[in-house]
Amino acid sequence: MLSLWSDSSKRFRENSAYVTGYVACSAVVAAVYRIANAAVAADVDKAAPPPWIAAFRLASLLWLAVGASLCAAAFFSMIGRRVDRPLWKCAGWQDGVRRFFLPWFIINLCQLMVIDMMLKLGEAGMQSALPSLFMLDLALQAFCLPVGVCIMYWGRLDWGQLPSALEPIYGQFLLTIPVLFIGLGQWILIDLRSAMIPTDTGLDILWMGLYDAVLDCITCFAFIMMWRVCMLHRDRSMEGGGNPFDF
């Protein structure tokens, strides 16, 4: 387990250029989202919102989902190729976007929709449904990255072969647990961010961007760690006659 942490740290440093690119592109996506929402919020009467506000809210969520998915597909494919070269093949970031944008978009959109539903139900005073959505949000926060990594390592999104693609998660579950806890730790950090930076206007957008940079670096580290789990699962399966449950 310690060797997995140390090896992932080494690979993280080796891919610092790609990590920086991921952080920078993610920052642009988040900044556009926050600036646009701050501008709209300043001009809209909250007591009587205009009819187009729902469409704007949907467009904002789609922007986040599309932007985050492009960043993940492009930069994670480059990191993955370098970590597992020469075995894992990817022609470049364009090939990564072509093959992996859709799974990351589905994953990110599911997360954003659950968060948006929680906000809407909270505003409407429907507290009874929040505990279930809260647990779903925790599960998504923990498992979304491992699921996305496994699909990438498989090489494509294939619904018929999805159980096989996800084998590293349950086949090497002891090694996957730290990745799950990193995801849950990020959820706590996001919650702390809301308490530390209560608004998303003015200079607070800058502070939130800096805070997000730390979270994005953690995401890249968790990606590399889960990628190494997938590599270990492949190697152990080949050595052990294809038994993925041999810890």
CA distance 35 to 106: 25
244 domain residue, yes or no: no
Instruction: Give pTM, 2 decimals.
Output: 0.91
- pLDDT, tens digit, for every residue of 33-60? 999 988 888 888 777 778 888 899 899 9
pLDDT at 247: 33
pLDDT at 150: 98
Instruction: Report yes or no: 206 and 166 within 8 Å, Cβ to Cβ.
Output: no
φ, ψ dihedrals at 201, nearest 5°? -130, 160
246 domain residue, yes or no: no
99 domain residue, yes or no: yes
How many structural domains comprise the chain?
1
pLDDT at 30: 94
Using the structure block, give the residue that is written with the tokens 């809407």: 120
Boundaries of domain holding 63? 2-239
Tell me the one-letter amino acid at 114.
V
Q: Closest Cα to residue 118, out of 194, 205, 213?
A: 194
Using the structure block, give the residue that is written with the tokens 């990020």: 186
245 domain residue, yes or no: no
224 domain residue, yes or no: yes
Burial class (CB in 10 A: 0-12, 13-18, 19+), 4: middle
